[in-house]
Amino acid sequence: MALSFDQVIEKYEPTLGLEVHVELNTKSKMFCGCATTFGAEPNTQVCPVCLGLPGALPAVNAKAIESSIKIGLALNCKISPFNRFARKNYFYPDMPKNFQTSQYDEPICYDGYLDVEIDTDEGKKTFRVEIERVHMEEDTGKSLHVGGATGRIHGADYSLLDYNRAGIPLVEIVTKMVKGTGKYAPEVAKAYVTALRDILRSLEVSDVKMEQGSLRCDANLSLAPINSNTLGTRSETKNVNSLRSVERAVRGEMIRQGNLLESGGKVIQETRHFLEESGETRPGRSKEQAEDYRYFQEPDLLPVAPESKWVEEIRNSLPEKPAVRRKRLQAEWQVPDKEFDAMLNADLLEEVVQTVAAGADPTRARSWWLGEISRLANEAGKSPAELISTVDVATVIKLIEQGELTDKLARQVVEGVINKEGTPQEVIVKRNLKVVSDDSALMKAIEEAIAAQPDTAQRVRDGNIPAAGALIGAVMKSTGGQADAAKVRQLLLKHLGQG
């Protein structure tokens, strides 16, 4: 009988560890001047240094050091005044040098923390995730396995290698062991990666696109019997490529390990791959121990010794923290907790911020992104931001505010923009969606409505104002929804002696 998640956490306590790799958005690579553009023709952004050719000498990218310090400071880390690179030796075809230039026992930043807030049974609760280290290293190339059913090397006919990514600056952020999360371990893991992504985005040091691999998370997890004071053997689930998957991967691994332990089995220390479809993990290679990498100090690079004056300058230039910014925006926009959380959960905060920055009212901006646009995105199987630009949404909202579009017409404009019929203004012209605000045209429609419902009109004349609703509805109908309802109401009541 398999244990459910709830049964697992009755007996076992999880310990989490999260390793996040971030690709920095520097224009050039970590140790050479090669470009870093995503999606370029394979092997067009390479040179003797990043190909590891004999005699080529690396030099550290100063911008990458600055970005790493920014990340460390934003994560409340200490910045090492003197740190060095090391060679991490292993053979893999996507790594032309046969070692990765990384940092080992001397990381640039260490001893920080990130507080994350999650919903628990007792309301919102903050968990502190301690950061062990933030270190600099370089990315590997990419391999493409051709032939075979799975796209993996097993069963492939041949493999192709693209070294464009080899040498792109990476920062690796490693947490200390996260204990005491109990049944909230999956949520804490997700909240941590989310908060980290938001910080990295606010620092403008990375694209932080999990789906493109510029933010990659490995989740370590072990279980130990509750109150045992021991530590179980951990597994490492690799390259979980969405925020939702982080949560699912931890949950799935807790269930797998719990059932394994319960049946008398042993967890082995290994790398596992997350399967997006099932939410389960499957084994990869057994995990190397640090000593297997034969780390040694990199002889071709000088130590990194950031001056404290520079570090303080960077500290003073850090942007507002995302958590602080969220609180400020919520207060400015006067949004209740529940609705603000809905926007965060839908990952639409940045869209709303940009729409407001383009001149739209915050309440309308939220309602359009979370309502109509999310609905259309859902139908299309895309993310809302892929459908329409924030500038176009702001334009539509401003036209509503100016009375040139009704909500109904605006929905048609948005639909047209999404269908690539042009800008909002072009769609309005093409589909003839202008609001009828011409008084004489509206009066004609009003008189027709009164003629068709003389009894209703008489009730309004006699002072029954709510009865006007039926007449306004008739006018809206006869104008195809293109009339401004407020204006119709005003003209109608005036015409019937109630204005």
Which residues are at the interface with Zn ion (CB under 5 A)? 32, 34, 47, 49-50
Is residue 159 within 8 A of residue 145, CB to CB? The reply is yes
Phi/psi region, residue 403 (left: phi>0; alpha: psi -120 to 50; beta: rest), is left
Q: Quick one: three-class SS letters along 100-116? A: EEECCCCCCEEEEEEEE
Which helix (H) or strand (E) segment is 441 a member of? helix 439-452
- Indicate the burial class of 323 (C-beta count within 10 angstroms; 0-12, 13-18, 19 or more): middle
Residue 253 interaction partner, one of Mn ion, Zn ion, none, beta carbon < 5-8 Å per kind? none
Neighbouring residues of 473: CB distance < 8 A, sequence distance ≥ 6:
none
> Smallest distance from the beta carbon of 168 to Zn ion, in angstroms?
10
**236 is an interface residue for Mn ion by CB under 5 A:** no
Residue 195 interaction partner, one of Mn ion, Zn ion, none, beta carbon < 5-8 Å per kind? none
Neighbouring residues of 310: CB distance < 8 A, sequence distance ≥ 6:
none
Would you say 50 or 349 has its CB closer to Zn ion? 50
Would you say 21 or 366 has its CB closer to Mn ion? 21
Residue 32 interaction partner, one of Zn ion, Mn ion, none, beta carbon < 5-8 Å per kind? Zn ion
Distances (CA, A) of 147 to 54, 92, 133, 154, 277: 33, 20, 40, 10, 22
Would you say 206 or 257 has its CB closer to Mn ion? 206
> Smallest distance from the beta carbon of 165 to Mn ion, in angstroms?
14
> Smallest distance from the beta carbon of 27 to Zn ion, in angstroms?
13
Is residue 120 within 8 A of residue 77, CB to CB? The reply is no
> Smallest distance from the beta carbon of 31 to Zn ion, in angstroms?
8
Sequence-distant contacts of 145-150: CB under 8 A, at least 24 apart: none
Joined together, the tokens standing for residue 33 give 């001047």
User: How far is 150 from 257, CA to CA, in rounded Å?
Assistant: 26
User: How far is 53 from 47, CA to CA, in rounded Å?
Assistant: 9
> Smallest distance from the beta carbon of 21 to Mn ion, in angstroms?
6
Stretch that binds Mn ion, among 77-85, 151-159, 164-172, 297-305 (CB under 5 A): 164-172
> Smallest distance from the beta carbon of 137 to Mn ion, in angstroms?
5
> Smallest distance from the beta carbon of 102 to Mn ion, in angstroms?
6
Which residue(s) pair with 15 in the sheet?
Answer: 222
Residue 50 interaction partner, one of Mn ion, Zn ion, none, beta carbon < 5-8 Å per kind? Zn ion
> Smallest distance from the beta carbon of 169 to Zn ion, in angstroms?
12
Would you say 172 or 351 has its CB closer to Mn ion? 172
Would you say 49 or 109 has its CB closer to Zn ion? 49
Residue 172 interaction partner, one of Mn ion, Zn ion, none, beta carbon < 5-8 Å per kind? Mn ion
Structure-token match 């979980």, residue found: 240
Residue 108 interaction partner, one of Zn ion, Mn ion, none, beta carbon < 5-8 Å per kind? none
Residue 210 interaction partner, one of Mn ion, Zn ion, none, beta carbon < 5-8 Å per kind? none
The two beta strands, 109-120 and 99-102, are unpaired
Would you say 172 or 298 has its CB closer to Mn ion? 172
User: How far is 247 from 231, CA to CA, in rounded Å?
Assistant: 21
The number of residues that bind Mn ion (CB under 5 A) is 1
Would you say 49 or 492 has its CB closer to Zn ion? 49
Would you say 169 or 384 has its CB closer to Zn ion? 169
> Smallest distance from the beta carbon of 35 to Zn ion, in angstroms?
9
> Smallest distance from the beta carbon of 28 to Zn ion, in angstroms?
8
Would you say 107 or 232 has its CB closer to Mn ion? 107
Residue 250 interaction partner, one of Mn ion, Zn ion, none, beta carbon < 5-8 Å per kind? none
Phi/psi region, residue 227 (left: phi>0; alpha: psi -120 to 50; beta: rest), is left
Would you say 172 or 236 has its CB closer to Mn ion? 172
Nearest partner of 32 among 64, 62, 67, 60, judged by Cα: 60
Would you say 13 or 172 has its CB closer to Mn ion? 172
Which residue(s) pair with 19 in the sheet?
Answer: 174, 218
Would you say 238 or 248 has its CB closer to Mn ion? 238
Stretch that binds Mn ion, among 6-14, 165-173, 287-295, 474-482 (CB under 5 A): 165-173
> Smallest distance from the beta carbon of 26 to Zn ion, in angstroms?
13
> Smallest distance from the beta carbon of 45 to Zn ion, in angstroms?
7
Which residue(s) pair with 158 in the sheet?
Answer: 146
- What type of residue sits at position 393? V
User: How far is 272 from 149, CA to CA, in rounded Å?
Assistant: 20
**Coil vs helix vs strand at 136:** strand
Residues 166 to 195: which contact Mn ion by CB under 5 A? Answer: 172
Residue 34 interaction partner, one of Zn ion, Mn ion, none, beta carbon < 5-8 Å per kind? Zn ion
User: How far is 238 from 18, CA to CA, in rounded Å?
Assistant: 10
Nearest partner of 31 among 87, 74, 76, 72, judged by Cα: 87
User: How far is 364 from 347, CA to CA, in rounded Å?
Assistant: 17
Interface positions with Mn ion (CB under 5 A):
172
